[in-house]
Chain A
Amino acid sequence: MAKADFEVPVLQPYAEIPPVRTGTMSHSKPYVAKEDFQKPLGFPGELVDDWQDKAIDKMGDLLTRYRSLRVYLDSCVKCGSCTDKCHYYLGTKDPNNMPVGRQDLMRKVYRRYFTLAGRFFPKLVGASDFTREVLDEWYSYFHQCSQCRRCSVFCPYGIDTAEISMAAREIMDSIGVGQKYCNEIIGKVYKIGNNLGLPGPALEDTLEGLEEDVFDETGVKVRYPIDEEGAEILLVTPSADFFAEPHVDGLIGYGKVLHEAGVSWTLSTHASEAANFGMFIGSYDNMRRLARRIREAAIQLGVKRIVFGECGHAWRVAYSFLNTLAGPWDFLDPRYPVPQHICEFTHDLIERGKLQFDKSENDEMVLTYHDSCNVARASRMGDRPGGQFDIPRAIIRATCNNFYEMEEETIRDRTFCCGGGGGLLTDDLMELRVKGAMPRVQALNNVMKEKGVTHMAMICAICKSQFTKVIPYYGMEMEQVVSLHQLVSNAIVLTPQEQDEEDGELSHEAA
């Protein structure tokens, strides 16, 4: 069991709503970004002199640019429906981690400067000046929101705390108070092409290694091409897929599926990152700049289709925002949605009977499936609402014999965040991450006890990294976390091609 210098929550057989404990997480703060990490994103390097005025101006600007912000700040009636829905509240008991508590940190400033009631009767409506203390509260608690949108499901007005924490981070960035983790990573994408800062040659090396591994294991030459002009499909995947476990097993799986599909495909060094941390910091400009790298790569490589690998918020940006940020996609094949999720791609092949599986290959595992928040509540797969739930499950059922759901209130659109999303997947927030994972880990623990589940599959790079790191705190093994396409990879029956015995290069020409 991993050691912690804080109290790890005790898992219960039934979910409990904890009593309010004020200030339990007020000490939690991620590292502040230094000037080097702020400048490349167009933000001031340190707290600007007239930061109060600048922040209020920025808030005023965002209120005219984002209807969500204005409507959500006005509409809350403090009914309390959201108060027990946030995994960070359930794990930390801190009332500022209740969605409405978090929103109120901004709402009290909004009311003070932008509403009549707050201007004249601040005490009456809980309005407050934007003081240094309030800014510190903002920095702490708006970095305790993983933007998972679970609160928005249960709000009678659909108030989405993610929108408010994104705006708060944008306001803080604009006065020079950025978060190191997110902003450093965005800078790396601009400079090198991906979050992990892996240069092209390193990627090529890794992919070559994968080809050898798969060939050694299966005797079939599956290719993992990068920067191949004229390929049919551009695969954009989170850079963690190139190195991290169990992510890379997912990447191996995508390659095998694409191999069986008999379609040419390629990765890109320029767009070697599906993730888009511009969303986490609420910066339309940075999100757009990151998204347009994918457009540039698609044009440069002359592909006809774009497929995204397993990544939660990346799929939100891809599915919901890519057309807005980097479209129109009129130069791509109109017969396919742009972009497609690798699960949609795989599922389609399964439906058409193009893939053969030996399910027994996964028999040593009893699986459950974790719906990743951004996929579940901010995107779709397939052409029907809820396809984002059904398609991954259909793939699991096609590739595994043993599958059980977790408790109903913790799956599908009521799924719990892994606790590491929204730009919080950093070691300086470990306490928050461990505590925030509690509701999900508790549901996992229960299904392990009741159904003998051994592994949890998922389709998000952040979820995978987060769980492998935090479930050991709860006495579980990091190996219990698996990629969905790892299951596909295990079970898929590859078709040996004639060229496999000959020179591998020819096979591409034939395809």
Chain B
Amino acid sequence: MSFVSGFYAFLFYFALVILIAGLVNKLIQYARAPAPLKIPTTPAPTTSGGVVLRMVREVVFFESLFRGNKWIWIFGWIFHFGLLLVTLRHLRYLIDPVWLPIEFIQPFGIYGGMAMVVGLVGLWARRVLVDRVRYITSPSDHLILLLLILIGLSGLSMTYVVHTDIIAVKNFFIGLYSFQVNPLPEDPLLLVHLSLVAALTIIFPYSKLLHAPGLFFSPSRNQVDNPREKRHVAPWAERLEQE
């Protein structure tokens, strides 16, 4: 086992542990804090089925963002949809045998990679060009964009510029399931790409990337509009009732 393979094996175990621990901690925080009052942004669905539909529209189409700003919506949606395709494409390095839908998606994954970068560049341009967005931008917002763009570019480069030994990469990751460290190709582009992905995994639960689980917990989106029909009392508020 080379030092590089060992280091990257450790890095990915470490990143995964941080991701899971951080995310579980956050999900517990969100789940344990009650929403003491009914605060859906109305008009809101009056049934749980309706709420599921509302959430699907938010998650898949970014409905509220569409109403809010068409530029952010188009760049944001292109980026996220691209990221989804890229992620699905990459599943072939993580599962064996590869499922048929994942095989089917392979070529689209490459377009996804391009879309991702285009979307990110658009979002970054807004951060620089629109004075209101520039005002609310912190250094970390630039860094996350930089990180994601570098991930996209380094990945695309391996498709179009310098190939790596993809079979060996797959062997490396499949080996990690059984705590075997198989040799990882020591191509600089691949190592940069993997380091950045590990970094993204690590910062996920400690950054604004929490918007992903956050959306599902947002009371203004996930509550049923039925306060007159159904009494809604948080556990800490119930104690007031006893007084």
Mark A residues whose CB is within 8 Å of B: 17, 19-20, 22, 63-72, 74-85, 95, 98, 100-101, 104, 115-117, 121, 123-126, 149, 152-160, 163, 284-285, 288, 319-324, 327-328, 337-339, 376-380, 383-386, 388-389, 413-414
Query: Which residues of B lie under 8 Å from residue A337 when comparing CB positions?
Result: 228-229
> With A124-B138, A284-B36 given, is the CB distance from A386 to B221 under 8 Å?
no
B93 within 8 A of A: no
A71 partner residues in chain B, CB cutoff 8 A: 30, 214, 217-219
Q: Closest B residue to A117 by CB, please name it.
A: B206
Q: Is the pair A65, B137 in contact by a Cβ cutoff of 8 Å?
A: no
What CA separation (Å) do A284 and B135 show in the bound complex? 34
Q: Are B26 and A82 in contact (CB under 8 A)?
A: no
Contact of A70 among B30, B46, B135, B139 (CB under 8 A): B30
A65-B132 CB under 8 A given contacts A152-B220, A377-B42 = no
Contacting residue for B131 out of A19, A338, A339, CB 8 A: A19
Which of B44, B211, B230 contacts A157, CB < 8 Å?
B211
What's the A-B contact tally at a CB cutoff of 8 Å? 218
14 additional contacts (CB under 8 A) given A65-B34, A78-B137: A22-B135, A64-B33, A66-B36, A67-B34, A68-B39, A77-B141, A80-B133, A124-B138, A284-B36, A323-B227, A324-B231, A337-B228, A378-B42, A380-B225
Q: How far is the CB of A286 from chain B (nearest CB, A)?
A: 12
Q: Which residues of B contact A413 (CB under 8 A)?
A: 41-43
Shortest CB distance A276–B (Å): 12
CA distance in complex: A386, B236 (Å):
32
Task: Please name all residues of chain B whose beta carbon is closer than 8 Å to the beta carbon of A338 when the two chains form the complex.
Answer: 228
From B37, B130, B135, B240, give the contact of A320 (CB < 8 A): B37
Contacts of A125 in B (CB 8 A): 138-140, 207
Interface residues of B in 100-141 (CB under 8 A from A): 123, 126, 130-133, 135-141
Q: By the criterion CB–CB under 8 Å, are A74 and B136 in contact?
A: no
Contact of B208 among A76, A85, A322 (CB under 8 A): A76
Q: Counting CB contacts under 8 A, is B242 at the interface?
A: no
User: How far, in whole Å, are A125 and B139 apart by their CA atoms in the complex?
Assistant: 7
- Does B92 lie at the interface of the complex (its beta carbon under 8 Å from any beta carbon of A)? no
- The CA of A417 and the CA of B159, in the complex, are separated in Å by 53
A471 and B115 alpha carbons, distance in the complex (Å): 49
Complex Cα spacing A338 to B227, Å: 10
- B97 contacts partner chain A, Cβ-Cβ < 8 Å: no
Closest to B221 in A: A158
Contact of A64 among B32, B227, B240 (CB under 8 A): B32
Instruction: Given A67-B33, A70-B30, A82-B68, decide whether A75 and B210 contact each other with a Cβ distance below 8 A.
Output: yes
Shortest beta-carbon distance, B216 to chain A, in Å?
9
A17 to B131, CA, bound (A): 11
Instruction: Specify which of B30, B67, B132 is in contact with A154 (CB 8 Å cutoff).
Output: B67
Inter-chain contact B44/A67, CB cutoff 8 Å: no
Is residue B155 within 8 Å, beta carbon to beta carbon, of the partner chain? Answer: no
Quick check: A126 and B214 within 8 Å, CB to CB? no
- The reply to whether A324 and B42 form a contact with Cβ atoms under 8 Å apart is no
Closest Cβ neighbor of A321 among chain B residues: B37
| Complex interface: chain A residues within 8 A of B141 (CB) | 77-78
In the bound complex, how far is the Cα of B230 from the Cα of A292, in angstroms?
18
Output the residue of B68, B131, B219, B229 with the most chain A CB within 10 A.
Answer: B68
B3-55 interface with A by 8 A CB criterion:
26, 29-30, 32-39, 41-46
Cβ of A156 and Cβ of B65 under 8 Å apart? yes
Within the complex, the shortest CB–CB distance from A245 to chain B, in Å, comes to 30
Taking a contact as CB atoms under 8 Å apart, the answer to whether B44 and A385 are in contact is yes
Q: What are 6 A-B pairs at a CB distance below 8 A?
A: A78-B138, A81-B65, A384-B46, A386-B43, A388-B43, A389-B43
B168–chain A nearest beta-carbon distance, Å: 35
Residue from A74, A80, A377, A388 in contact with B72 in the complex, judged by beta carbons closer than 8 Å = A80
B163 at the interface (CB under 8 A from A): no
The 9 closest A-B pairs by CB, nearest first: A154-B68, A75-B214, A81-B68, A385-B43, A158-B220, A126-B138, A80-B133, A83-B132, A158-B221
Interface mask (B175-214 → A, CB under 8 Å = 1, otherwise 0):
0000000000000000000000000000000111011001
Q: Which residues of A contact B2 (CB under 8 A)?
A: none
Alpha-carbon distance between A20 and B131 when the two chains are bound, in angstroms: 7
Which residues of the other chain, B, contact A19 by a CB distance below 8 angstroms? 131
Chain A residues whose CB sits within 8 angstroms of the CB of B233 once the complex forms: 324
A78-B137, A126-B140 known; A155 vs B68 contact (CB < 8 Å): yes
Residue of A nearest to B29 (CB): A70
- Interface pair A75/B208, CB less than 8 Å apart: yes
**Bound: A22/B135 CA distance, A:** 10
Tell me the complex Cα distance, A81–B65, Å.
Answer: 7
Whether a CB of chain A sits under 8 angstroms from the CB of B81 is no
**Most chain A beta-carbon contacts within 10 A, residue among B58, B65, B131, B136:** B136
**Contact between chains at A84 and B36 (CB < 8 Å):** no
Q: Is there a chain A Cβ closer than 8 Å to B64's Cβ?
A: yes
Taking the complex as formed, is B152 at the interface, i.e. its CB lies under 8 A from any CB of chain A? no
Contact at A320–B39, with CB atoms within 8 Å?
Answer: yes
Complex Cα spacing A328 to B241, Å: 11
Residue in chain A with minimal CB distance to B31: A67
Query: Cβ of B68 and Cβ of A156 under 8 Å apart?
Result: yes
Q: How far is the CB of A278 from chain B (nearest CB, A)?
A: 12
With A378-B39, A386-B43: A79-B132 Cβ-Cβ less than 8 Å: no
Q: 1/0 per residue B63-90: CB within 8 Å of A?
A: 0110111001000100000000000000
Q: In the complex, which of the residues A72, A285, A337 has the most CB atoms of chain B within 10 Å of its own CB atom?
A: A72
A81 touches which of B35, B69, B221 (Cβ 8 Å): B69
**Considering only CB atoms, which chain A residue lies closest to B220 in the complex?**
A158
Task: Identify the interface centre among A64, A67, A152: most chain B CB within 10 Å of its CB.
Answer: A67
- Inter-chain contacts of B64 with A (CB < 8 A): 81, 153-156, 158
Q: Kindly list chain B residues whose C-beta atoms are within 8 Å of the C-beta of A149.
A: 41, 220
A321 in contact with B211 given A70-B29, A104-B136, A385-B43 (CB within 8 Å): no
Asked if residues A65 and B236 are in contact (CB atoms below 8 Å), the reply is yes
Once the chains bind, are A157 and B206 in contact (CB under 8 Å)?
A: no
Bound together, the chains give a CA A28 to CA B72 distance in angstroms of 32
CB-CB under 8 A from A101, the residues of chain B are 135-136
Q: Which residue of A lies closest to B217 (CB)?
A: A71
Please indicate the chain B residues that have their CB under 8 angstroms from the CB of A82 in the complex.
68
Q: Please state if B39 and A380 are interface contacts (CB–CB under 8 Å).
A: no
Q: What residues on B are CB-neighbors of A157 within 8 Å?
A: 211, 214-215, 218, 221
